[in-house]
Structure 1
Amino acid sequence: MGIGQTTTSAVIIAGLLALPGCSGGFGNLFGETTTTAPANAERPQRERAKPERETIWDLFSDRDDPNTTVEVNKYLWNAALDVLNFLPLQAADPFTGVMAFGYGTPPGGGRAYKATVFVRDPALDARSIEVALQTQGGGAVSAETAHAVEDAILARARQLRIQDRSL
């Protein structure tokens, strides 16, 4: 037997010894069938439905059902309704923080606008709200106008919070 044949034989034997670790035992290697139950078969169905916790820090993670928790700032929400009260509210979803308003003309203005407000965070700051405006002709509104509406909503939200504290 030459060196090439010895090396080939050693590689084949090593491969055969490594296969049982990948396939679940020698039974599968030689055509025998083995039955193994899935790892979670012993656990009742109600235990499998719960999310697995791996570390103690998982207790502090946000695993709440988004369909049952509302995580928008109530002051921003109410302030947006107050500031944009001249627009008809078409849809509102407090779970996602989106309010869609139809076309309306602001007091003292001549052009009709449509707005979508996105309250994205429970914090009361400028990053928590985004306003998208559109004119009735479908044109976009300048960023300065949208920022002015956002600033008006933030100012009204702060007023509402101060009123709430004085009660």
Structure 2
Amino acid sequence: MYKKVLIVLTFLLPFAAVAEEKIPRLGSEPRGQRERREDRTKGHLLSEPLFTTAKKKNTTDGIGVNSYLWTASLETLAFMEKKKADPFGGLIITEWYVDPNTTNKRFKIEVIITGRELNSSALKISIFKQKKDSNGAWVATNVDKDTLLKFEETILTRARDLKVSQEIG
């Protein structure tokens, strides 16, 4: 019986140490103190890292794809409303965009970043274009290959610029 209690206490003792800090009831602690306490313990299990002797992997960001391509894609598509942006999967999908000067055409763009390397093979772009027909219905039309290549080159150039500016600065 005592052995069981001792085993249970051995496993629960580390958790009891965490409960040492008294947590005030919601709203009873001044806002500034609560934020400082949250900032102090943010990102740490049990308020301190468990294993501090191991070296961290060299990660420059918390996303699953090349961060320069991701940022460059978002900046290039800044004028369009985003339907979905998933930095872990490397997917950006825009809503349909209608240029105010030509209201009979609209575009939708999908960017997929497939890897962590900064090159064109890690970047897949699809541009969808529609025009209004005589009845006012949207009809799919072909996108000029040059438009697709210019868009890809714009993203790649911006990504390279971002990388160079980070390495210099």
Instruction: Give the match for residue 99 of structure 1.
Output: 92
Cα deviation for residue 106 of structure 1 reads 5.8
3-state SS, counterpart of residue 141 of structure 2:
coil
Matches within 5 A, 1:25-36: none
Map of 1:153 onto structure 2 = 155
Which amino acid is the alignment partner of residue 163 of structure 2?
Answer: R
After superposition, give the CA deviation of every residue in 1:49-100 in whole Å (9 maximum; x if it has no partner): xxxxxxxxxxxxxxxxxxxx74310010010111111111110112211110
SS state of the match for residue 127, structure 1? helix
Question: In structure 1, how many angstroms separate the alpha carbons of the residues matched to 2:106 and 2:166?
Answer: 33
Computed over aligned residues only, the root mean square deviation of the Cα atoms, in angstroms, reads: 2.2
Contact 1:133 1:140 in 2 (8 A): no
Amino acid in the other structure paired with 2:67:
K
TM-score by length of 2: 0.52
Match runs of 1:1-167 below 5 Å: 70-105=63-98, 111-136=105-130, 137=138, 138-167=140-169
- Higher Cα Rg, which structure: 1
In 1, Cα distance between equivalents of 2:121 and 2:157? 14
Give, in whole Å, the separation in 2 of the partners of 1:141 and 1:72. Answer: 27
Percent identity over the alignment is 28
Taking structure 1 as the reference length, the TM-score comes to 0.53
The Cα of 1:123 is off from its aligned counterpart by: 0.5
**How much has 1:112 moved relative to structure 2?**
2.4
How many residues matched?
99
Give the superposition deviation at 1:105: 4.2
Report the structure, 1 or 2, having the larger strand content: 2
Matched to 1:82, the amino acid is E
Flag structure 2 segments of 5+ consecutive residues without an equivalent: 1-61, 131-137
Moved over 3 A (4+): 105-111
Q: Residue 153 and residue 135 in structure 1: after superposition, are their counterparts in 2 closer, same or farther (change >3 A)?
A: same
Are the aligned partners of 1:72 and 1:120 in contact in 2 as well (CA < 8 Å)?
Answer: yes
Q: Write the distance in 1 (CA, Å) between the matches of 2:167 and 2:87.
A: 23
Gaps spanning 5+ residues in structure 1: where? 1-68
